[in-house]
C-alpha cells in the first residue's frame, strides 16, 4: 500500500454496508470508516488494518448509537460525534496505538419545557411478504401519555426515495411530527417506514425498485399499514393517513393509486410537491 499496486485487497466482509470511509492512515496502515455492522439503522466507527486485517470498534457497539468522526490531516486526532438516540455529544480524541484517548467533550442536553410532554419513539422491524426474505425498518412515534387501550389516529410519513434512509437512530425532533403527536387535540401516532429501494440494507434490497419506481415502495407502505393495523388494537383504522413531499409526495400518490377502488388501509393521502416529471428530478432514478 506504500506504492502503486494493481492488487486489490479485501479488508472487510459481511452482511452490512460501509457508510463512509473517514480516513486512510498510511503511517499506522489502517482505514477508518463507519458502517452498519451492528444494525442498518445505526452507525459505528471502526478502524481496520490493511497490513494485519485486524479490526477495532472506536465506539461502544453494545449500545444503540449513530456515530460519525472527522480526522485531522495527520490522522493523530479526531472528533467523535454521537447523534443519538440519546442526547447528542461530541469529543476530541487522540489516537494512542490502537486505543483512542478522550481529552475533551461537549454535550447538548435536550431539555424541553417541563409543561410540555414529548412523544416517545420506538424502533422495530416488520417482516415483508415471507417469500421476499426482507424486513422493513420502522420508526414509531407515540403521543405523550400513550394509552394502548385507547384509539389513535395514525399518520405515515416517509420520503422513501432510492438509496435514502429515514429510519435511523439519530435523535429526531421533527417540529411537525412532534406537534401533531403532542397536541392534546390531535395525538397522532406517526410511523416512518423505509420501503424497498431505500439504503443501507444491501444491494438486493436497494436495487429492487430499479426501472419500476412507485411499485414495490408503494406496496411496502400498504403492507406495513395492514400489518400494523392488524397487530395493534390502538390504531383507529378509520383514520390512517399518508403524506410526503418531493419523492415522498410521489410515493403518497402512488400508494393511494395502488389501493385503487378496493378498500385499503389508508383513508387519506396528501401529496405535497410530488415528482410529476422525471426530467425535472433525479434522472439517474430511471436507469
Is residue 232 situated within a structural domain?
A: yes
- Are residues 98 and 42 both part of a single domain? yes
Is residue 115 situated within a structural domain?
A: no
Is residue 79 situated within a structural domain?
A: yes
Is residue 10 situated within a structural domain?
A: no
- Are residues 193 and 234 both part of a single domain? yes
Q: Cα–Cα distances in Å, from 153 out to 50, 73, 194, 204?
A: 53, 51, 20, 34
Sheet holding 44-49, edge to edge: 18-25, 30-35, 44-49, 55-57
> Hey, is 49 helix, strand or coil?
strand
Question: What is the count of structural domains for the chain?
Answer: 2
CB-based contact 89:108 (threshold 8 Å)? yes
Confidence at residue 98, expressed as pLDDT on a 0 to 100 scale: 47
Q: State which of 107, 135, 150 marks the end of a domain.
A: 107
Confidence at residue 97, expressed as pLDDT on a 0 to 100 scale: 47
Q: What are the pLDDT tens digits along the chain (287 aa)?
A: 455 456 788 999 999 999 999 999 999 999 999 999 999 999 999 999 999 999 999 999 999 999 999 999 998 889 999 999 998 888 888 887 445 555 555 555 555 555 567 899 999 999 987 667 899 999 999 999 999 999 999 999 999 999 999 999 999 888 999 999 999 999 999 999 999 999 999 999 999 999 899 999 999 999 999 999 999 999 999 999 999 999 999 999 999 999 876 678 999 999 999 988 887 776 656 55
Confidence at residue 1, expressed as pLDDT on a 0 to 100 scale: 46
Q: State which of 80, 107, 134 marks the end of a domain.
A: 107
Is residue 5 situated within a structural domain?
A: no
- Domain hosting 173: range is 120-286
Amino acid at each position: 500500500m506504500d506504492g502503486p499496486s494493481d492488487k486489490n485487497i479485501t479488508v472487510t466482509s459481511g452482511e452490512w454496508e460501509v457508510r463512509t470511509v473517514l480516513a486512510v492512515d498510511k503511517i499506522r496502515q489502517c482505514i477508518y470508516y463507519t458502517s452498519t455492522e451492528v444494525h442498518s439503522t445505526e452507525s459505528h466507527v471502526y478502524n481496520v488494518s490493511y497490513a494485519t486485517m485486524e479490526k477495532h470498534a472506536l465506539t461502544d457497539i453494545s449500545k444503540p448509537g449513530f456515530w460519525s468522526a472527522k480526522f485531522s490531516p495527520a490522522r493523530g486526532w479526531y472528533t467523535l460525534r454521537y447523534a443519538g438516540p440519546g442526547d447528542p455529544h461530541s469529543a476530541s480524541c487522540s489516537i494512542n496505538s490502537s486505543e483512542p484517548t478522550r481529552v475533551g467533550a461537549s454535550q447538548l442536553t435536550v431539555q424541553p419545557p417541563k409543561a410540555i410532554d414529548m412523544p416517545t419513539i420506538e424502533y422495530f422491524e416488520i417482516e415483508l411478504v415471507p417469500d421476499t426474505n426482507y424486513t422493513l425498518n420502522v420508526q414509531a412515534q407515540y403521543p405523550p401519555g400513550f394509552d394502548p387501550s385507547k384509539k389513535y389516529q395514525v399518520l405515515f410519513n416517509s420520503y422513501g426515495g432510492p438509496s435514502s434512509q429515514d429510519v435511523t437512530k439519530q435523535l429526531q425532533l421533527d417540529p411537525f411530527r412532534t406537534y401533531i403527536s403532542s397536541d392534546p387535540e390531535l395525538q397522532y401516532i406517526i410511523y416512518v417506514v423505509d420501503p424497498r429501494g431505500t439504503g443501507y440494507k444491501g444491494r438486493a434490497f436497494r436495487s429492487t425498485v430499479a426501472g419500476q419506481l412507485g411499485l414495490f415502495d408503494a406496496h411496502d407502505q400498504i403492507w406495513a399499514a395492514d400489518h400494523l393495523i392488524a397487530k395493534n388494537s390502538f390504531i383507529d383504522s378509520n383514520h390512517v393517513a399518508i403524506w410526503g413531499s418531493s419523492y415522498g409526495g410521489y410515493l403518497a400518490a402512488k400508494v393511494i393509486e395502488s389501493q385503487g377502488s378496493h378498500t385499503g388501509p389508508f383513508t387519506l393521502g396528501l401529496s405535497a410537491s410530488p415528482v410529476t416529471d422525471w426530467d425535472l428530478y433525479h434522472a439517474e432514478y430511471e436507469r
